[in-house]
Amino acid sequence: MSGQRGSPNRQGPSLRECLWCLANGLPLRYELDEAWLSRVLFHVQGCRDRRFRTVPSAGATYPLEVYVSSLGRIFPLKTGLYKYVSCSGNLVQSSVNADFEGFLFSVLPGRTVTYYGERGYMYVRNEVGHALQNLFLSLVSHGLWGSVRLVELEFGPGKPQYIAARVDVARVDSYCRGFSLEKGVLFDTAVVLRRSIRNYSREAISSESLLDVLKWSMGEIVAGSRPYLKFGEEYGVNGSVAVFNVRGLDKGIYEFDAKDMELELVRTGDFREKLWRASLMQESVRRAAAVIVLFGDGLLGEVEAGAVGQNIYLNAVDEGLGTVAIGAFHEEDFLEVFGEQRPLYVFPLGKPAE
Ligand SMILES: Cc1cc2nc3c(=O)[nH]c(=O)nc-3n(C[C@H](O)[C@H](O)[C@H](O)COP(=O)(O)O)c2cc1C
């Protein structure tokens, strides 16, 4: 397989159908076409503009490498282990042996830690979450399901490369129905259009848009089930929002209730300046109409925050909004404003500037 990029020609399912079906634990029915595997790989780690990829990466350092392990049962490949070369779209065989049908996410944390020090280890775990989320949405869109095993998440200076995750891929007997109305942007399109946007207009965003981004990123859109995988026994990530300029909402701090999918006002006030300083004076935070903050604990929480973050990026595309993942901020200053669990990840949101 070489040179095939994610096929722009497929009339695939919408982003929100994929999210809905992922929350339901079932894929959409899909007849596997010739380009399906290269499309899935493109969704997970494909190249954009020769330099960037379909998933974000701290400082574009790209510590992830994706391998396909094929037994030739589902994948159109002979038995073996193959490395995906992102910008050429090629699969290069690295072994003739394989013992499962699926994907391996290998990481080289040194690529990121060189620039960001110890905090870089968390960024790598976030990025595993981003890539897993795109993989599962892509599998769902291709009529396939998978089970994930997070293998090694504790990184350190003593070892250059780790297997962070293994995903076994399977066919299923029953499928998700999807929906016929209000489809919104196609999943394939959202992946291609996703990029980090740091400059926003002064326009307010609507409370409906903000709530839709939260709901479709981390709400229990199916009773007890959010639109991403559970990495532990329970979901571990909570979300709050600092509202600066949202039609229909007072300025202040709101908690997102994932179960009822509502915003609950915690306290009113203008926290723009404070959060801008807390995020190392990054202009994206000061220019935003609202800032979503994800909270959680532990290594699994960091992976989960990445999965939610990927949903925020994709849903922002659906709403015509822009966002950027922010990992560089002072945790204590965010804690002071939000008074929650450990702040993990920050997403300013706004109408992209012209
Ligand atoms: C874990 C993580 C942390 C990041 N932290 C920041 C940040 O603090 N500030 C920022 O402007 N961008 C940040 N980014 C966004 C990256 O700079 C961006 O993904 C990268 O430049 C590639 O561009 P793209 O997202 O448009 O593909 C972060 C991304 C990730 C995945």
**Residue 60: CB within 6 Å of ligand 1?**
yes
What value, to the nearest 5°, has the Cα angle with vertex 326 and ends 320 and 330?
Answer: 145
Phi/psi of residue 342, each to 5°?
-65, 125
This model of the complex carries an ipTM of: 1.00
Ligand 1 atom showing the smallest separation from residue 53 Cα: 27
Q: Please tell me the predicted confidence (pLDDT) of residue 318.
A: 98
Is the pLDDT at 102 greater than 90, yes or no? yes
Residue 4 has pLDDT above 70, yes or no: no
The tens digit of pLDDT for each residue in 173-183 reads 999 998 877 77
Q: Looking at the CA of residue 195, tell me the nearest atom of ligand 1.
A: 26
How many A from CA of 54 to the centre of ligand 1? Answer: 12
Helix (H) or strand (E) holding 162, with range, is strand 162-170
Ligand 1 atom nearest the C-alpha of 309 is 31
CA–CA distance, 146 with 136 (Å, rounded to integer): 7
Pair 86, 53: CB distance under 8 Å = yes
What atom in ligand 1 is closest to the CA of residue 328?
8
Helix residue spans in 172-206 (DSSP H): 187-193
pLDDT of residue 10: 82
Q: Which phi and psi (to 5°) does residue 199 adopt?
A: -115, 120
Between CA 347 and CA 326 the distance in angstroms is: 6
pLDDT, mean of residues 13-38: 96
* Helix, strand, coil percentages in the chain from 3-state DSSP, rounded to 5: 30, 25, 40
Mean pLDDT over the full length of the chain: 96
Answer whether 201 contacts ligand 1 (Cβ < 6 A).
Answer: no
d(CA 200, CA 285): 10
Backbone angles phi and psi of 230, in degrees to 5 = -85, 120
Predicted confidence at residue 269, as pLDDT, reads 98
From 324, 329, 331, the mutation candidate for ligand 1 (largest count of ligand atoms within 8 A of CB) is: 324
Domains, the chain, with CATH or none: 15-170 (3.40.109.10), 196-350 (3.40.109.10)
DSSP symbol at 351: P
Q: Which of 19-23, 31-35, 180-184 has the lowest mean pLDDT?
A: 180-184
pLDDT for res 3: 40
**Does residue 351 surpass a pLDDT of 50?**
yes
